[in-house]
Amino acid sequence: MSVAEKLKGTTIKYKDSAYFIQDCYVVDARFICETNKGTLKIDKSEMKRILKEKSPVKGNISGSPIKTEDKPCDKYYVTKQYDKFIYNQKNRSVNDAHVTALIRSIKKNDLLFAQPILVNDKYEVIDGQHRLRAAMKLSRPIYYIIKKGLTIDDAIALNINTKNWGYKDYLDHWIAKGKEQYIYFREFLDKYKMPYTMSAGLLMKGKTVTGGGNFTDEFKSGKLHLEHQEFAEKTGKLVQDLSEYGDFTTDRSFIIALVEGMEFAELSPEFIIKKVSMAPDKFTKCSDSESYLRMLEDVINYHSRTRIRLF
């Protein structure tokens, strides 16, 4: 058993006061002790001196009652009453793999105190639900800041310029808010299995998706406007049908080449499928859009007298 574990449930004398230690752990060569009088942060060398002078006494003989209510810790609060917090259904889903990674990190170096979670006055978790879940699984105290009036929409503002939320998280959020464009977008993704950005590009920009563009901010902020559903559905169906001949058809580079070549030569999906079925061995994976265009041109012109250009 570690020294920190042995200190739990004992009373120590520190700076002429007695403290009953309710929880104790080590962070960066310091003992973090949650006591009935607040949080103590004691250097290892100082704790060694304390223990050498007089061993800790079992039980609470500090002269002060054990406090069960939450207590301020610098500018934030600390507690182990995890059930007081509310997981907002409109927040991103808890990722078990991320929680597992956090648990490993906390066991190695507990920095929960350095990054408190953010809650509103209803104790709804605005930011930090993965940290909360990890702390609960490890039975470690969770540090939190209360900001009155915050809503889950403020989590969007907090995360919009960071990597904390992924596309799926934003999609789940806006679906929970009842945005029909996002509900349709989820159905499109499930049906055609294309990348988020490629799907958004086809639905928002149509044929001009090959010209590039950044749809991320619009997607994150709930401003997804799907103006080219018919074109996107046609392209998605073609990509899906072509997957019979290669497992690369959902690659972004391939889809860009397919759209560009199909529009340049005014080819129908049926014509492309027919040509690929005639030369499946030529329909191969490439490294970039330009190479895909050349590959598609070779396939389209297989056994053709008149060469069709795709670019």
Average pLDDT, stretch 43-69?
A: 67
Is residue 184 predicted with pLDDT exceeding 90? Answer: yes
User: Cα(211)–Cα(15) distance, rounded to whole angstroms?
Assistant: 69
**Predicted pLDDT of residue 153:** 78
3-state secondary structure of 47: helix
**Predicted pLDDT of residue 108:** 83
Average pLDDT, stretch 236-261?
A: 93
> Which residue, chain included where needed, has tokens 């580079």?
253
Domain 77-159 = CATH 3.90.1530.10? yes
User: Cα(100)–Cα(94) distance, rounded to whole angstroms?
Assistant: 11
Model-level pTM greater than 0.85?
no
282 CB neighbour count, 10 Å cutoff: 16
Confidence of residue 66 (pLDDT cuts 50, 70, 90): very low
Is residue 187 predicted with pLDDT exceeding 60? Answer: yes
**Phi-psi domain of 59 (left: phi exceeds 0; alpha: psi -120 through 50; beta: other):** left
